[in-house]
Amino acid sequence: MILLKNGLIVTQDRDRRIFRGDVLIDGDRIERIGKEINEKADQAIDCTGDIIAPGMINTHGHVSMAIMRSSADDLHLHDFLDRTFAMDAKRTREDVYWGSMLGILEMIRSGTTSFVDLYYWEDEVAKAVKDTGIRGFLAWATLDEEFTTQKGNPLSNAEKFIKAHSGMDRIYPMVGIQGVYVASKETWLDAKEIALAHGTMTHFHLSETRKEVYEHQAKTGKRPAEWLDDIGFFGDESLAAHGVWLTVNEIRRLAKNGVKVSHNPTSNMKLATGGYAPLPEMFREGVTVSLGTDGCATNNNLDMMEEMKFAAIMHKAHRWDATVVPAQRALDMATIDGAKALRMEKEIGSIEEGKKADIIILDGRVPEAIPITEETVVPNMVYSMRGDAVKHSIIEGNVVMRDRKVVFDGETILKRSQELGAQLIS
């Protein structure tokens, strides 16, 4: 048992309760939450003055691209794509593994306890998940064979990955689809069939750029979301990334089919592809919107606390409305709505009795956290604090970081990632 004592608990439960108290963890579950728990525990963590919060859920990224950080900056989109594709073609299984280790190290240090990944060689990412203790929702990327650098058929590769990793602790295999620009109707529907056959989800890029939307419309006569709905792809198992160039009609189609969206504000702004994801309209129509960082080639970090701030302020500025994405909504997107996006809201995303013990403790003594009260703690987390405020991280009841020191070999990760990353970029 682990007892977290005397912290300011941001529960993220249905009532969004915030109070000072204790959390008792038994095995991988939250056993009890209360004002004062006097149970004997194997270990206790003094959280006096600190914040106890649910671990954050990053619902879109390409974690192994962490070693490609800052390698294609300040470029027009076509130049950015040329450079990243050239590096991607040189990648090996080894640097996918170590890139994943680097990205996971960064995520754990900044408060992420679950992440969604879309890439190939997800078996290497799965190894990194096992070696670090994080939770991974891993979507093997599929596309038409004529466009892929994968050996073998991408759909077959995805299904083999799912079969080999289903039922593993903290690993949730999924089917990924790169996007409408490289996947035919048959690929989309075959991907969905695989997902449904194995009881998992699909994850894909959707309407990220105006070019993507207009070219697909010219080719098919329909916008991407309209087309995917009409061919019968959309469903409750669908998690779309980006959704920048969506119309209200398309948003209603997403809502009708239970499609979830991962909003990636930093990546969208940095690539300068124009537009703002229509979050207020998604909220109004009842679409579940979560938060993702995207990969380090387009962000360039994996700090979900920074992502919360950008998610709130970019829409305030765009809509000329300071109320449009309040701090509480941004925190929801990073926690409980991320769990809903993955159909895991009964297991993760909030601090409630019976749920998985995915909990972070943030340092309430850093200057940007003060003054800290029940009224200011959520705005402080969203608008002023950064990921380096995270002191401890617990995933499924296991302390994976204590006093900012991870339980695995972080130094080796940094050393090997530096070597491989420098080779790849050069």
pLDDT at 76 over 90: no
Kindly state the percentage of the chain with pLDDT values over 70: 100
Residue 66's nearest CA partner among 91, 102, 41 is 102
Four-CA torsion 79, 81, 82, 83, nearest 10 degrees:
90
Kindly state the percentage of the chain with pLDDT values over 90: 91
| Structural element, H or E, at residue 45 | strand 43-46
From-to residues of CATH 3.20.20.140 in the chain: 56-341
Four-CA torsion 152, 155, 157, 163, nearest 10 degrees:
-150
Does the reported pTM lie above 0.75? Answer: yes
pLDDT range class, residue 416, cuts 50, 70, 90: very high
* Predicted pLDDT at 84: 84
Q: Output 151-157 pairs: Cβ under 8 A, ≥24 positions apart.
A: 154/120, 155/187, 155/190, 155/191, 155/194, 157/120
Residue 424's nearest CA partner among 119, 79, 89, 77 is 89
> How far apart, in whole angstroms, are the C-alpha atoms of residue 138 and residue 116?
6
| Structural element, H or E, at residue 405 | strand 405-406
Q: How would you classify the pairing of strands 56-58 and 112-119?
A: parallel
Cis geometry, peptide bond prior to residue 300 (ω within 30 degrees of 0): yes
* Predicted pLDDT at 88: 80
Two tokens at 350?
A: 């909030």
Mean pLDDT, residues 213-222 taken together: 97
From-to residues of CATH 2.30.40.10 in the chain: 2-55+347-406
- Check: CB of residue 236 under 8 Å from CB of residue 258: yes
Two tokens at 133?
A: 């203790």
Mean pLDDT, residues 288-309 taken together: 96
Beta bridge partners of 4: 23, 45
- Check: CB of residue 417 under 8 Å from CB of residue 105: no
pLDDT tens, position by position, 20-32: 999 999 999 999 9
Residue 384: alpha-carbon gap to chain centroid? 21
* Predicted pLDDT at 80: 85
Beta bridge partners of 249: none
CB-based contacts of 226: which residues, under 8 Å, 6+ apart? 249, 250, 253
* Predicted pLDDT at 156: 97
pLDDT range class, residue 226, cuts 50, 70, 90: very high
Two tokens at 56?
A: 């954050």
Q: Residues 56-341: name the CATH superfamily.
A: Metal-dependent hydrolases (3.20.20.140)
Of 338-342, 377-381, 419-423, the poorest mean pLDDT is in 419-423
> How far apart, in whole angstroms, are the C-alpha atoms of residue 141 and residue 6?
44
- Check: CB of residue 357 under 8 Å from CB of residue 3: no
pLDDT range class, residue 274, cuts 50, 70, 90: confident
- Check: CB of residue 360 under 8 Å from CB of residue 393: yes
pLDDT tens, position by position, 21-72: 999 999 999 999 999 998 899 999 999 999 999 999 999 999 999 999 988 8
Cis geometry, peptide bond prior to residue 278 (ω within 30 degrees of 0): no
Residue 147's nearest CA partner among 89, 76, 209 is 89
**Would you say domain 2-55+347-406 falls under CATH 2.30.40.10?**
yes
What does the DSSP assignment read for 185-228? Answer: HHHHHHHHHHHHHTT--EEEEES-SHHHHHHHHHHHSS-HHHHH
Mean pLDDT, residues 99-112 taken together: 98
